Amino acid sequence: MYALSADDAQSAVEPMRVALMTLVSSAAAQAVVSDLRRDSLQVDLVTHEVLQSPPTASVYIVSLDPVLAPIVAEKLVAWAAASVARPGLLALVNDGDHATSELLLAAGFDDTVSTPASSREIAARIRALHRRVHWKAPSSGRLRFGNVTLDVYERNLWIDGASVPLTSIELAVVRELIKARGRPLSRTQLLDAAWGEGELETSERAVDNVILRLRRKLPRPDLVETVRGVGFRLASS
């Protein structure tokens, strides 16, 4: 089993470069960029033409209308996933609803926020997303517990030799469960570790939704155990 060093446990992150992508340039998108810059974020405004080249930013905010979300979601996720250093994807959905958010998250987006939303909330989500997407793994890039191996760089989970691709939020939750080494973690602990402590008003139900998605992906769903009255843990075998 791989043991985390004190340096590894610091979970340092790489420098943050942010771009707001719009399918059609608008004054509203420019206003969001201006507001985020006032929140001390370096943000560039780009159009869909960036899809013709590999990603260069570490986080992309994608401004979408609900009607376009099901049409472009998978293409955007595939574009990001093809990069060696996959960027985080945050959907900024104009007058969005829960159905649109669920569709985007299922397609592989890392987070969504519906407008109108404050620049403070959007900035907090960007920072939390950057931390979990660009968290630096141990030098080997791999964490192990029992028959579970997580490659943070490749964003893959191996269980009994089978590869399971993960979204960044699924990776963050699995990473924390592996680091706990069989110790149960509460929903609050997982929220703080994977989403960012004190950053977002995210409900504990978000953890349940990620656990549900993980169990659907895993060759052995019972590897993620529910500890009644506590939370979740990884089974040791």
Give the CATH number of the domain where residue 102 resides: 3.40.50.2300
Contacts of 110 (CB under 8 A, 6+ apart): 88, 89, 90, 129, 132, 133, 167, 168, 169
Contacts of 167 (CB under 8 A, 6+ apart): 105, 108, 109, 110
**Host domain of residue 41:** 18-133
In this prediction, residue 21 carries a pLDDT of: 92
Q: Decide which of 133, 161, 188 is a domain's last residue.
A: 133
Do 82 and 174 share a domain, yes or no?
no
Do 107 and 199 share a domain, yes or no?
no
Asked if residues 55 and 83 have their Cβ atoms less than 8 Å apart, the reply is yes
Asked if residues 65 and 125 have their Cβ atoms less than 8 Å apart, the reply is no
In this prediction, residue 25 carries a pLDDT of: 65
Other beta carbons less than 10 A from residue 39's beta carbon: 15
Do 129 and 23 share a domain, yes or no?
yes
Which comes out higher in pLDDT, residue 61 or 201? Answer: 61
Do 88 and 149 share a domain, yes or no?
no
Give per-residue pLDDT as tens, 133-188: 665 555 556 788 888 888 876 777 888 778 888 887 888 888 889 888 888 988 88
> Cα separation of 109 and 76, whole Å?
9
Among 31, 55, 66, 65, residue whose Cα is nearest residue 45: 31
Do 177 and 96 share a domain, yes or no?
no
In this prediction, residue 196 carries a pLDDT of: 62
The CATH number of the domain where 200 resides is what?
1.10.10.10
Query: Does 8 reside within a domain?
Result: no
In this prediction, residue 37 carries a pLDDT of: 87
Per the prediction, the chain carries an average pLDDT of 80
Query: Does 216 reside within a domain?
Result: yes
Would you place residue 10 in the very low, low, confident or very high pLDDT band (cuts 50, 70, 90)? very low
- Count: domains in the chain: 2
Give per-residue pLDDT as tens, 22-77: 876 667 788 888 888 887 788 999 988 889 988 888 899 999 888 989 999 989 98
